[in-house]
A and B are shown apart, each in its own frame.
Chain A
């Protein structure tokens, strides 16, 4: 709710006119209602006066014009308040969406890991649309209710029909009906949303897994899963709507019956000479006005339940504090040479889980290539993520150019780094925008990067060249091309630190070798950290760090490791033929 108030405060220029137009509109509506009684009495007067016909025409046309004027005003006020309500609800949606998105963008990987992608998307779109709609409903209907009810009651009391208590009776009954319905549906509202999620989730899985499902001949299995979810949703949906649909007809029934009661009582009072016919006529209008007001309020309360749920979900995101925050190191103090030093670093992804890396100590020097090798899940990628401060370590410290990485402003640090992630991610756009990627580098720099990354041939071979369109996630280029493009992206940035996380896995050996050669020249003054699977690709690294299940089991040059590190030899053995292995061992000794 606080979130919403903030947004309203910011857009007060829409809120104030909205309220003003609503109030004026209601005043006109009340005037209009009281007119009915006047007209009926007038007609009564004319009917009982045989000489009235002459004057009646002019009197009535004056009344008609007055009424038309009032009605026109009601509609104009209505249009104006709808205009401002539309504006307000749209800007509310916009501001909330922006707040949320900006917040998400401020997160570190740690927060993103703990939230699912699809739930964040739902929040940014569905939930906000929900809020937007409810804001509109409130602005156009619920906002009128208090004025309408107060106005209605005042006029009714002024009307002196002596029937006001029936309105109170009707309102009371309507409130009870609303409460019962809301409470009954509230109970299953939560699981309702859950069943929708379930359907969407199995459907999505059915679509993403097409090939595997086919390959295993599991189409029936897939179908049954969706059918089960659909049926469960149908059942809860039916019981949900059944509970809800009783509300409106019941309210109308109460309304009509109370109106009958009032007509009866009115007739009695008329007989006693306490009121005239006009009062009875107006009464019906007031009754409907007030009770409909209550009903509208109830309906808005209904939608407000869902809005509050959505607001709470958003609030939860807004309250998360990013785990990685800016340090205070002034820009001038950032050292020119950016070596990387891990000092006794330990890290775990979530509190309950175990350490992914433990007591890591190593130095990657400037102008040198440092390689990391090790088994699946040993924490190689984690080290890369820590260097770029996508996470901060739980224990120990990482020194970049001799200064604790946490002292750097996050973005200044990342600007020094060209990170090629394990999964090559491209974005909608073209080849140029994916290589340049916000660095605003020259065409020459892009072309150089493409050349080094061995993607230039592909660029030159197609007609659009660098303008070749890239689809979302780069699905329209092959895995190897994706990898080379993301390498080109890192090179174009001309960073002081290069991080390659298993970035050559989709390349065939030939391309791989060519790429490395070209890269070597380019990166000779930078600090290079490479994660690799194939030992052969890092044999000439200045330093190789061998990891096993989160700890370092050996480091040094390849020849040093061949002598000292059993695990290194094992890895090597698993990758090359026996002859080659023997050859290498013999070379060393």
Chain B
């Protein structure tokens, strides 16, 4: 284990919570007790056999029989030893399972906490499946690995050391014979373990690949079917599947080869012990019982060595998984300044002052954008895709920080404000609806956690979704499936609108909020929205120009610049880009 790995394990232990070190120390103690009982056992059992052999020789020489009291004594000692070892093992395993479960639980809690503190940009850069795999699969690998590694490793080491000591005390030559097998063991194990590690890695990569393929194919099932692509897809799948099968079989074989090879080495030691032991016994340097003891020791000695070798594969996996988890935990967080303003009344006066921004330094999306919005005004933003409409919203929400210039909310630079405070002043509906597994009630209540059932229903009525909900079995208690897949996309949007209505914030953002809703329902919501937006500052992004006709100001964005600005009629009169966009809908 190199120093890097040590650091990883130290961090794991830090996750074990209060008193973790003491518990760990106690566990180590128990492991030692248990290992000692296993180690001493054969020596004492050897004594028993010696007594019997002596007895046999006595009988042969007709000098009496087996020394029964001595035999009983040895057997009682052994009984006690076994039971002590057993209890130590059970208590230790109990503690270990608590320890592991706590470490993993705390790891998950850290991850959950971290999720809230990473900048939004992080999630846009990294593939969702990739992060998912870190916070679920990798944590699982750690959970299963930790349980066996910690106790297993200490156990093996203690066992090796104790057995070695006992063997040395019993007979130097014999101990030497057993020790000779050690270098062969280590040498051959090392080679296998290295190769196994590689094979396992390959296998994980391929599994991930095939996982991605299946996910993509099932997600795009409708299109695959419509274009009769099943055979191609299956053929492609077969290729990856065949490849995975090869790697599976290789890593499985490599991983398990350790057993027979270690057994062979163990057996070589065993034969050496028997032969050398017999020779020594004949010369009278060794008792038959000691041979038996050594036979047991050879096995007991090789087992921990084998186990340690096997475990090193597992350690590699745990270390790799832990590193991924920790690198997630170490990701740079949203910058939090010290003396942030935590109390500030947000009324909805927003101004953008010469802001510029680009997701990467080479490409500026927003150029010197300036705009002043008074309290209660409705601002609409239109323009072709990629013009930077959503970017402006993201800057206002402080998902990203501006490169230059500043955004002021009620006279305060938003970078001086606590993010939570800023965001709790803004209600938002996005085109991509996000609903979670839970009842419709809970999903709407997400907008304001302390809202009563009546308030939720009121908000749903305003969003024109109350009737639909009442037709569902269970009404507001109807359980939505993951991603809300069990209702139509228009209905999902209406629920998120109800959520925003309920949240009752001074600033409202609607980013293509009704794109999947039919125009009549939209019209009805519009009325509700108009009421809602009354007295609130709102930002509306829409393709359907009909929805923004009443906006106080319409901004026409093109390539990050405001090219036009004014009310609907002003812009139409201008006969510029906006009127082109507008008239395009009547061209045919």
Contacts and interface: CB of A to CB of B under 8 A. Distances in A.
A442 interface: no
A587 interface: no
Contact of A509 (B136, B499, B549, B585): B585
A579 to B, nearest CB: 11
Interface range on chain A (Cβ under 8 Å from partner): 35 or more
Contacts of B587: 513
Q: Is the interface of A mostly helix, strand, loop or mixed?
A: helix
A586 interface: no
Interface string B195-215: 000000000000100111011
A117 B112 contact: no
B546 interface: yes
A59 to B, nearest CB: 9
B249 A86 contact: yes
Nearest to B580: A510
B268 A68 contact: yes
B451 to A, nearest CB: 12
Given A120-B218, A220-B116, A536 B586 contact: yes
A561 interface: no
B132 A260 contact: no
Contacts of A72: 264
Interface in B258-307: 259-261, 263-264, 267-268, 270-272, 274-275, 277-279, 281-284, 288, 291-292, 295
B374 to A, nearest CB: 23
B521 to A, nearest CB: 6
Contacts of B45: 259, 263
Contacts of B252: 85-86, 89-90, 136
Interface in A185-229: 196, 199-223, 225-227
Interface in A143-173: none
A277 B56 contact: yes
Contacts of B59: 270-271, 273
Q: Which of A61, A241, A242 has the most CB of B within 10 A?
A: A241
Given A112-B218, A241-B147, A270-B59, A212 B521 contact: no
Q: Which of B82, B223, B277, B509 has the most CB of A within 10 A?
A: B223
A136 B426 CA distance: 57
Interface stretch (A305-313, A329-337, A411-419): A411-419
A340 to B, nearest CB: 15
Interface string A479-495: 11100001001000100
Interface string A125-155: 1000100100010001000000000000000
A105 interface: yes
Interface stretch (B162-170, B174-182, B231-239, B341-349): B231-239
Contacts of B228: 411, 414-415, 438
Interface residues of B, number: 171
B351 interface: no
Q: Is the interface of B mostly helix, strand, loop or mixed?
A: helix
B69 to A, nearest CB: 12
Interface stretch (B359-367, B512-520, B559-567): B512-520
Interface string B90-111: 1001100110011011001101
Interface string A112-130: 1000111011001100010
A97 interface: yes
Contacts of A234: 101-102, 104-105
Nearest to B103: A234
Given A43-B291, A212-B434, A390-B222, A64 B271 contact: yes
B108 A36 contact: no
A428 B447 contact: no
A472 B127 contact: yes
Interface stretch (B46-54, B404-412, B533-541): B46-54
A125 B212 contact: no
Nearest to A472: B216
A267 B490 contact: no
A223 B112 contact: yes
Contact of B292 (A71, A79, A124, A281): A281
Given A67-B271, A97-B241, A216-B447, A116 B482 contact: yes
Interface string A417-444: 1010111010110000000011000000
A323 interface: no
B23 interface: no
Given A215-B428, A216-B423, A509-B585, A574 B225 contact: no
B149 interface: no
Contact of B281 (A43, A120, A207, A277): A43
Given A506-B385, A510-B580, A222 B115 contact: yes
Interface stretch (B8-16, B71-79, B309-317): B71-79
Nearest to A136: B252
Interface in B553-588: 580-588
A16 interface: no
B546 to A, nearest CB: 5
A454 to B, nearest CB: 11
A245 B93 contact: yes
B292 A271 contact: no
Nearest to B223: A425
A189 to B, nearest CB: 16
Interface in A274-320: 276-277, 280-281
Contacts of B278: 39, 42-43, 46, 56, 60
A29 to B, nearest CB: 10
A264 B71 contact: yes
Contacts of B216: 427-428, 472-473
A277 B288 contact: yes
Contacts of A40: 288, 291-292
Contact of B83 (A203, A253, A273): A253
Contacts of A230: 105, 108-109, 112
Nearest to B140: A196
A457 B212 CA distance: 31
B219 A480 contact: no
A571 B94 contact: no
A58 to B, nearest CB: 11
B246 interface: yes
A534 interface: yes
B60 interface: yes
Given A90-B248, A376-B491, A425-B222, A210 B123 contact: yes
Contact of B75 (A91, A210, A264, A533): A264
A252 B300 CA distance: 14
A588 interface: no
B227 interface: yes
Interface in A48-88: 48, 52-53, 56-57, 60-61, 63-64, 67-68, 71-72, 74-76, 78-79, 82-83, 85-87
B483 interface: yes
Contact of B584 (A67, A116, A276, A512): A512
Given A211-B399, A220-B116, A512-B585, A277 B53 contact: yes
A60 B426 CA distance: 89
Contacts of A570: 520
Contact of A223 (B113, B219, B229): B113
Contacts of A46: 278, 281-282
A140 B143 CA distance: 26
A231 interface: yes
Given A61-B275, A205-B482, 17 more contacts: A47-B281, A60-B278, A74-B260, A82-B256, A94-B244, A105-B224, A109-B222, A121-B214, A136-B252, A206-B112, A230-B105, A249-B93, A267-B51, A271-B65, A421-B223, A540-B588, A580-B586
24 contacts: A43-B277, A46-B281, A67-B271, A68-B268, A71-B264, A74-B263, A87-B253, A90-B245, A112-B218, A120-B214, A201-B437, A204-B132, A212-B496, A215-B397, A215-B423, A227-B108, A227-B109, A245-B90, A245-B94, A280-B52, A388-B226, A414-B225, A473-B216, A507-B543
- Please name the 9 residue pairs, one residue from A and one from B, whose CB atoms are nearest each other, closest first: A219-B116, A78-B260, A376-B490, A90-B249, A509-B584, A71-B267, A226-B112, A94-B245, A480-B385
